[in-house]
């Protein structure tokens, strides 16, 4: 978060003066001139228990709990999950190395979030509710915001959590975090003012979009200033020390590359808050690490871990016929997934040739046969993805019409004429009977020829200088057998097209580091889906931080995309916002920045039958580590039957 200069960066305001400025405003008041400003402010001031950019909050100030939780869920028991690969540290915010899974759950922000990654609340796209902050205050223009922090907030060691810790964390991220993040924050947040021990104000830069400013500072984790100063820890160096935060779970134990155990903190300061009711119900959460997919699955069958979110179509179709399933010890469940699927597929590194040529990208896309892949490698269980916002109201269809067309027209000459007349790009169809589709191969070779690549007598593609079209597709050693089969099949098809290509399998640590360093040609990866306009779109798809941003895998730098993102941040209603996002989806597909793979429109879960969940799950999160719970009687029955060790 952001630092400008020392002249006005840390302004300490006397608490009595602050109280005079606050007056007697109610929690949801809108009072002109009631803001915590250092000068006269005649704007309408909003003070609320949560935040939404358009001001629409589903839950009132006195909400007892989220609608989808069981507020009377029992507390206790252990749930164990798995992951593949290795870890070499326990600081989630350290950008060197690979931190242990879920190690970020120890910290909280002003607004609440799911410590295990579930969107909070899980029944809304755009809303945030206070956690460390009991209220947020801001003018209608959103030029600044003030967080009124809960005086009872404590770090997990019992020490008070104050505005000084929030300010320290802000500086810490600026000084030591990933460069693209720090740069983005500095361009948006002018600085902060510590008003008193439990009140902090953030001032935002003039002349920029108000999007994501309040939500960004409100979602930033808060660490203990004293802990960092005592330990000398840094975010730019690997560390096994987990930061001191205030979350409902703390680190219990770990063994490098084998397991991590988190335990529920009985002294957690926030158990009484409505945002936490019916949540964080497991006494212990254990993460088991495995070297490969086969060992991981065998361990589940043996009961070494107890909950599995299945991501392999092969295993879901053929693997769940082992005794524990047949005897009813393991329960299989299919839950509809109402969120846009992860935008995964083959991703190009635009910093390297030949991927800068859109005709080459389109041709290489034609070599991927999704229909054969889905039928032969994925048991017909996947659906072709066309959009970066698939199945959402932000997905583009046909030619642009209505508000979307008006939005594109407002951008001027940066928009190619074809974007108005051509239908939104859809993934091509292929012959499902063989990996290489001859019709698509002819189309691809024609495009490649137009781009200056022709097949010689040796069957290899070369340019006018006689250089081979050659590259590698980087593959993680922790990839599932299905993903590895998809990549190796695609490699063979590309060779059939004349490309000199190979799959390069590397260990997980090297894979992560090379990804961050942009040291790869192509990989099976993902882009960020989007359902709201936020400044995060700049890091995910914008030019300014493209080369350093870990969220922009392609290093995409495109004036059209930049213009759409900038204008989307100025929309004034949800309808306008959706139109802008449709335009962005359309443009990304038009530029062919990725070869889209398929997706599964539902969650597949397998678990030992001792976990329970609300009858109606929310649309935006499965939440098994968030609001499910443990049934002690069922656990005892499984133990008695010998199903669990």
User: For the segment 607-630, what is each residue's pLDDT rounded down to a tens digit?
Assistant: 999 999 999 999 888 999 999 999
- The pLDDT confidence band at residue 13, using thresholds 50, 70 and 90, is very low
pLDDT at 627: 97
* DSSP label of 67: T
pLDDT at 271: 98
pLDDT at 41: 53
Cis peptide before 354 (omega within 30 of 0): yes
pLDDT at 42: 63
- Yes or no: say if 160 and 153 are a contact pair by the CB < 8 Å rule: yes
pTM for this entry: 0.80
Average pLDDT, rounded, for the chain: 91
Six-digit token string for 434: 């063989």
- Rounded to an integer, the average pLDDT of 53-79 is 96
* DSSP label of 25: -
15-231 and 343-597 have identical folds: no
Per residue in 97-132, pLDDT (tens digit) is 889 999 999 999 999 999 898 889 999 988 999 999
Q: What is the DSSP string of 366-426?
A: HT--HHHHHHHTSTT--EE---TTTTSTT---SS--HHHHHHHHTTGGGS-THHHHSPPP-
Q: Give the relative orientation of helices 559-568 and 574-590 as an angle to the nearest 10 degrees.
A: 170
576, pLDDT greater than 70: yes
Residue indicated by tokens 């870890």: 87
**CATH number 3.40.50.2000 is the correct assignment for the domain at 15-231:** no
**CA pair distance 167, 376, nearest whole angstrom:** 54
38, pLDDT greater than 60: no
- Yes or no: say if 584 and 568 are a contact pair by the CB < 8 Å rule: yes
- Yes or no: say if 293 and 314 are a contact pair by the CB < 8 Å rule: no
- Yes or no: say if 73 and 278 are a contact pair by the CB < 8 Å rule: yes
pLDDT at 380: 94
- The pLDDT confidence band at residue 465, using thresholds 50, 70 and 90, is very high
- Yes or no: say if 103 and 91 are a contact pair by the CB < 8 Å rule: yes
Cis peptide before 277 (omega within 30 of 0): no
Judged by DSSP in three states, 298 sits in: helix
- Rounded to an integer, the average pLDDT of 370-398 is 95
- Yes or no: say if 420 and 400 are a contact pair by the CB < 8 Å rule: yes
Per residue in 333-381, pLDDT (tens digit) is 999 988 899 999 999 999 999 999 999 999 999 999 999 999 999 999 9
Cα-based distances in Å from 207 to 41, 189, 225, 536, 568: 18, 12, 32, 18, 15
Query: So what's the architecture of 343-597 in CATH?
Result: Roll (3.10)
Q: Give the relative orientation of helices 438-450 and 481-497 as an angle to the nearest 10 degrees.
A: 60
pLDDT at 2: 32
592, pLDDT greater than 80: yes
- Rounded to an integer, the average pLDDT of 510-525 is 94
CB atoms within 10 A of CB 436: 18
Six-digit token string for 175: 């000084």
497, pLDDT greater than 80: yes
C-alpha torsion angle, residues 373, 374, 378, 380 (rounded to 10):
-150
- The pLDDT confidence band at residue 292, using thresholds 50, 70 and 90, is confident
- Rounded to an integer, the average pLDDT of 562-587 is 95
Cα-based distances in Å from 407 to 403, 565, 579, 580: 6, 11, 7, 6
Measured in whole angstroms, how far is the alpha carbon of residue 368 from the centre of its chain?
26
Residue-range domain boundaries for the chain: 15-231, 343-597
**CA pair distance 579, 405, nearest whole angstrom:** 8
509, pLDDT greater than 90: no
């Amino acid at each position: 978060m952001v630092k400008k200069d020392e002249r006005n960066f840390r302004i300490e305001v006397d608490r009595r003066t602050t109280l005079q400025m606050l007056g007697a405003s109610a929690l949801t008041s809108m009072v002109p001139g009631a803001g915590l400003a250092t000068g006269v402010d005649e704007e309408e001031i909003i003070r609320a228990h949560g935040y939404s950019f358009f001001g629409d909050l589903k839950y009132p100030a006195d909400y007892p709990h989220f609608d989808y939780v069981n507020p009377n869920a029992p507390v206790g028991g252990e749930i164990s999950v798995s992951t593949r690969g290795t870890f070499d540290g326990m600081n989630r915010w350290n950008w060197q190395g690979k931190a242990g899974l879920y190690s970020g759950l120890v910290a909280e922000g002003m607004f609440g979030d799911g410590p295990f990654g579930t969107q909070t609340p899980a029944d809304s796209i755009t809303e945030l509710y206070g956690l460390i902050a009991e209220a947020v205050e801001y003018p209608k223009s959103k030029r600044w915001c003030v967080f009124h922090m809960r005086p009872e907030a404590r770090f997990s060691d019992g020490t008070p959590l104050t505005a000084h810790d929030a300010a320290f964390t802000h500086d810490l991220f600026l000084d030591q975090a990933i460069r693209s993040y720090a740069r983005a924050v500095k361009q948006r947040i002018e600085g902060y003012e510590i008003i008193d021990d439990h009140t902090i104000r953030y001032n935002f830069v003039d002349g920029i979009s108000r999007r994501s400013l309040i939500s960004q500072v409100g979602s930033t984790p808060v660490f203990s200033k004293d802990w960092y100063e005592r330990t000398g820890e840094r975010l730019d160096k690997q560390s096994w020390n987990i930061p001191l935060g205030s979350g409902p779970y703390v680190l219990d134990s770990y063994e490098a590359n084998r397991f991590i155990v988190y335990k529920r903190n009985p002294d957690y300061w926030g158990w009484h808050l409505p945002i936490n009711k019916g949540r964080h119900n497991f006494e212990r959460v254990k993460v088991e690490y495995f070297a490969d997919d086969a060992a991981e699955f065998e361990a589940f069958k043996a009961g070494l871990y107890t909950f599995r979110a299945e991501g392999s179509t092969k295993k879901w179709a053929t693997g769940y016929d082992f005794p524990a399933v047949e005897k009813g010890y393991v329960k299989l469940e299919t839950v509809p997934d109402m969120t846009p699927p992860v935008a995964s597929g083959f991703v190009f590194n635009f910093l390297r040739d030949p991927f800068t040529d859109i005709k080459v990208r389109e041709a290489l896309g034609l070599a991927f046969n999704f229909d054969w892949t889905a039928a032969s490698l994925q048991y017909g269980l996947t659906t072709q993805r066309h959009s970066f916002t698939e199945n959402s109201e932000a997905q583009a269809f046909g030619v642009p019409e209505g508000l979307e067309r008006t939005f594109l027209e407002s951008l001027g000459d940066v928009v190619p004429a074809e974007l108005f007349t051509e239908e939104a790009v859809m993934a091509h169809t292929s012959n499902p009977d063989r990996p290489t589709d001859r019709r698509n191969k002819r189309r691809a070779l024609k495009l490649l020829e137009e781009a200056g690549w022709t097949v010689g007598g040796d069957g290899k593609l070369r340019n006018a200088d006689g250089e081979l079209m050659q590259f590698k597709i980087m593959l993680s050693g922790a990839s599932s057998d299905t993903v590895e089969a998809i990549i190796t099949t695609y490699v063979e098809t590309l060779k059939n097209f004349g490309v000199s290509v190979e799959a390069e399998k590397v260990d997980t640590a090297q894979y992560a580091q090379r990804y961050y360093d942009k040291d790869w040609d192509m990989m099976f990866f993902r882009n960020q889906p989007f359902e709201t306009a936020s400044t995060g779109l700049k890091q995910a798809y914008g030019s300014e931080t493209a080369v350093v941003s870990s969220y922009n895998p392609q290093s995409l730098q495109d004036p059209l995309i930049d213009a759409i993102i900038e204008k989307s941040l100025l929309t004034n209603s949800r309808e306008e916002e959706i139109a802008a996002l449709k335009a962005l989806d359309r443009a990304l597909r038009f530029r062919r920045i990725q070869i889209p793979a398929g997706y599964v429109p539902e969650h597949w879960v397998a678990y030992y039958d001792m976990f329970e969940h609300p009858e109606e799950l929310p649309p935006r999160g499965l939440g098994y580590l968030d609001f499910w719970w443990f049934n002690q009687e069922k656990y005892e029955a499984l133990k008695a039957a010998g199903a669990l060790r």
